[in-house]
Chain A
Amino acid sequence: DAGITQSPRHKVTETGTPVTLRCHQTENHRYMYWYRQDPGHGLRLIHYSYGVKDTDKGEVSDGYSVSRSKTEDFLLTLESATSSQTSVYFCAISDPQQPQHFGDGTRLSIL
């Protein structure tokens, strides 16, 4: 789907451990986004990137950091995972003024 790959697709980990999710694109799109999806909340933006090494916070950025060292990769890191970060995480990409294209998500469970 639109050349977006999220890895891993599923992960179970323990509270307090670091977790990194990867989003890889083959479309050379400028913008990349990380969302979380929870019941009753729809999708909420965590962080986004508007270019290599250019990132900004979204609506629910506390407890998350991101990095984009090259156009094709956008990493989301939970430095010390908490149970409230159990969620489904989606990556999206877009060019300016264009709709977003989504990956198939990473289901993350923190016990």
Chain B
Amino acid sequence: SQQGEEDPQALSIQEGENATMNCSYKTSINNLQWYRQNSGRGLVHLILIRSNEREKHSGRLRVTLDTSKKSSSLLITASRAADTASYFCAERDFGNEKLTFGTGTRLTIIP
């Protein structure tokens, strides 16, 4: 399977503003997951949205899924300096446990 793409590749915003990242994927998915990666560390799971769901919330995170457009978005509200990281979407298709990751969005929060 091919990697999905994320948009934008890099994003810088002021602390307190909202950040939106978009992800396009290639296949029919079982679910789509978002991960965060701080510099020099492994990925940390943020949120999972199933193919029959359209929106999901977790704290300051809001994820939407549009299966007709094969796209998802991650919204981080009221950003904080600690949100500075790279964010990746990952698609999981049916029939196996493998994930296909996007190329990521590098988010910088300016204090």
Residues of chain A at the chain B interface (Cβ within 8 Å): 1, 4, 31, 33, 35, 40-45, 48, 50, 58-59, 90, 92, 94, 96-97, 99-105
Contacts and interface: CB of A to CB of B under 8 A. Distances in A.
A58 B98 CA distance: 8
A43 B99 CA distance: 10
Contacts of A100: 43, 45, 99
B14 to A, nearest CB: 27
Given A41-B3, A43-B88, A59-B1, A101 B45 contact: yes
Contacts, number: 53
Given A41-B3, A59-B1, A97-B97, 8 more contacts: A4-B42, A43-B43, A43-B88, A90-B42, A99-B33, A102-B43, A104-B42, A105-B42
B97 A94 contact: yes
A101 to B, nearest CB: 7
Contacts of B44: 1, 102
Interface stretch (B56-64, B66-74, B77-85, B100-108): B100-108
Contacts of B3: 41-42, 44
Interface of B: 1, 3, 33, 40-45, 48, 88, 97-104
Contacts of A42: 3, 88, 101-104
B98 A99 contact: no
A38 to B, nearest CB: 10
A99 B99 CA distance: 10
Contact of B97 (A43, A44, A50): A50
Given A42-B3, A42-B103, A43-B88, A102 B98 contact: no
9 contacts: A42-B88, A45-B98, A58-B98, A92-B43, A96-B97, A97-B97, A102-B42, A102-B43, A103-B42
B51 to A, nearest CB: 13
Nearest to B9: A40
